[in-house]
Chains A and B, each alone.
Chain A
């Protein structure tokens, strides 16, 4: 069964550094998402992306964050200047269509900011 893949599985970065998290969504999916999960808490929506532009973002997704689909397969999340509170699991998801359709999640990248 096709799946969403994320790399790296664990990223350790010094505070203030830039970090890029990478995702390969399922190949025929058109909608892409990033979520984050702080340890022990619920999964929180960050951003959705369609047709090479952001379609929706949460209040968490401030100017430090950006997303990009640099080629036909990758979808990236960049955090420009990391803060201690950015430490979390970051999940990429994708769906075939918008609307009442299941979103398929990757296994996440654990981001640790020192």
Chain B
């Protein structure tokens, strides 16, 4: 089955700096890669996603890149703000037959004011 590795497990950045979270996946059939933000006491909230036919996607301060050959994908947050502090999960999904989303192990991001 699919296995998603995520690094780093914790990340502290100064407000205004950029944050980068990296993930790798094992199943080359995976073709949909969502990123979720989880705040304390809340469920995962989708913040951005990318499909395998696209190499990069951007939404304001958030961008995601995908390297299918290397099976790597990354989340980039620019101009970080204290409200970006949360746990971020990458995930991989094979849309062709399976329903389950396989999550990474999570990155706790702390933005220091």
A-contact bits for B58-94, CB 8 A (1 contact / 0 none): 0000000000000000000000000000000100010
Contact B105 A108 (CB under 8 A): no
**A12 CB contacts on chain B under 8 angstroms:** none
Please give me the residue from chain B that is nearest to A31 by CB atom: B99
CB < 8 Å neighbour of A107 from B42, B98, B104: B42
User: What is the CB-to-nearest-CB distance from A75 to chain B, in angstroms, rounded to a whole number?
Assistant: 14
Contact B99 A42 (CB under 8 A): no
Contact A100 B95 (CB under 8 A): yes
Q: Does B101 contact A (CB under 8 A)?
A: yes
Query: What bracket does the count of chain A residues touching chain B fall in?
Result: 20 to 34
Q: Does B110 contact A (CB under 8 A)?
A: no
- Overall SS of chain B's interface: loop
Please give me the residue from chain B that is nearest to A92 by CB atom: B43
CB < 8 Å neighbour of B49 from A33, A102, A106: A102
Residues of A within 8 A of B (CB): 4, 31, 33, 41-45, 48, 50, 55-56, 58, 91, 98-108
Would you list 16 pairs from A and B whose C-beta atoms are within 8 A, ordered by A residue?
A: A33-B99, A33-B100, A41-B105, A42-B105, A43-B36, A43-B89, A56-B98, A58-B100, A91-B44, A99-B32, A99-B95, A100-B32, A100-B95, A103-B34, A106-B43, A107-B41
Give the 5 A-B residue pairs with the shortest CB-CB distance, closest first. Answer: A48-B99, A100-B32, A105-B43, A45-B100, A99-B95
